[in-house]
Structure 1
Amino acid sequence: MESYIQGSDSYYVDVHGESTCQAFLSEACGGPTQNGRQFRTQALLRITEAGVAVEINGSAVGLLSPEDARTYRYQLSNAGRLDHLVWCEAMIVGGSKGFGWEVSKFGVKLDLPPIQCDLDIIDGPPQWPDGSRKLPRKPKRPAE
């Protein structure tokens, strides 16, 4: 089963650990530009006992903070969706060119509501704000 968490275009939640996949993020959003990037895409949240991993186009890009992971995991558990593939909108940001060869790092922000708010969950795969369902590459379920 799949579920999609509808956000509010706030991109409130930061993903941690994305410094290890800078080349992937650069390629995914089209590379650095003079003013940097704000590239919208879909993210898959892999919910485990240990935390919440974030994937874009089938590649791991980081983790939610322990506090965010606990809260979102609790909310998804209460909604009966811990065993679902859970999607949300994401934005790859950064990559502005500075002086010389200097380029700012890329980061990932998720369009999830603040942790004190209820989740707006829709059954099914990712859905863009215009109502379309432009699917990223389908992830493989981990072997159990």
Structure 2
Amino acid sequence: MRYFEDFQVGQVHELGSYVVSREELLAFARQYDPQPFHLDEEAGRQSIFGSIIASGWQTAAICHRLLVESLLKDSSSMGSPGVDELRWLLPVRPGDTISARIEVLASTPSRSKPDRGSIKTRMEVRNQRDEVVMTETAAVLFRRRPEAS
């Protein structure tokens, strides 16, 4: 179990990788982001992207799943009070393999609630060509390690 005290400024955690399939890209777009360049090959070719692309929201959702599976599921995470910055820098295309890593930028114990603290993080997402496709800066709340009795 990871607690607030286990996260040190400067630490980097590799979160794994994920292949974005065309079928999954289309299903997500149909349900959550039905813009033509996410749904239609010809519209994608005619767009500034030159092909069909994944929704940025899908990229973010995939990366958060990687975060939960590799780091948060075995932690005392209490959720997040929000995202400070989210940037989609390059499109994610069908068949791309995206990988994510997270760096601890700051660690702040709560002054009003001594059982928890906040970790400020920066997530970086890269494609198989090692190009940064997304960045996100956010905070995550964690319980503090219980004191031994």
Shorter-chain TM-score bucket reads 0.3 to 0.5
Q: Which has the greater radius of gyration?
A: 2
Q: TM-score, normalised by structure 2?
A: 0.33
Q: TM-score, normalised by structure 1?
A: 0.34
User: Greater strand percent: which structure?
Assistant: 2
User: Greater helix percent: which structure?
Assistant: 2
Q: Greater relative contact order: 1 or 2 (C-alpha under 8 angstroms, separation 6 or more)?
A: 1
